[in-house]
Structure 1
Amino acid sequence: MAAKCEYCGKGPQFGNNVSHANNKTRRRWNVNLQSVRARIAGASKRVRVCTSCIKTGVVVKG
């Protein structure tokens, strides 16, 4: 399952782990996704959305 918000399309960001010896290995920061029941076109449907969409009221729970 893709780590992507179904409303805003926000996905993971990539960067480096940097050790004390300055070794660099790739890592990723995943989006904080929650499975919520949202009202879409008058019907209730389960969607995976990021917490920022829930917080700002983009997703109407129902």
Structure 2
Amino acid sequence: MSRRCELTGKGPMTGNNVSHAKNRTRRRFLPNLNDTTLASEALGRNFKLRISAHALRSVDHRGGLDKFLAKAKDSDLSDNALKIKKAIAKSGSEADVLS
């Protein structure tokens, strides 16, 4: 299972552990990923996604999964999230989502 957020594309970063003596060793900074179930109002069903805590806060801030996906870039989304976005657009309720 990849350590990448399905909605924002946030993934692992690299850096250094720096000791008091300034010795540097490489390390990884992993995103805070959570398995969550988000509801789509347009499709009337729930979707299980692995997203970062930051993305979960962004979804709440934008007013739900439908509105978040309407504004999200396709390049950041995973294949699963892209299918959900296209299904929402196909349902014809993107006018309801944007208002």
TM-score normalized by structure 1?
Answer: 0.79
Segments ≥4 residues shifted beyond 4 Å: none
Q: Counting strand residues as a fraction of each chain, which structure ranks higher?
A: 1
Q: Distance in 1 between matches of 2:7 and 2:39?
A: 12
Deviation at 1:52, TM superposition (A): 1.1
Residue-by-residue CA offset, 1:14-52 (whole Å, 9 max, x unaligned): 100011121111111111111101235723221100111
Structure 2 residues not aligned, in runs of 5+: 66-99
Q: Counting helix residues as a fraction of each chain, which structure ranks higher?
A: 2
Q: Over aligned residues, Cα RMSD in angstroms?
A: 1.8
TM-score normalized by structure 2?
Answer: 0.53
Aligned twin of 2:34: 34
Structure 1 residues not aligned, in runs of 5+: none
Residues 1:14 and 2:14 aligned together: yes
Higher RCO structure (Cα 8 Å, ≥6 apart): 1
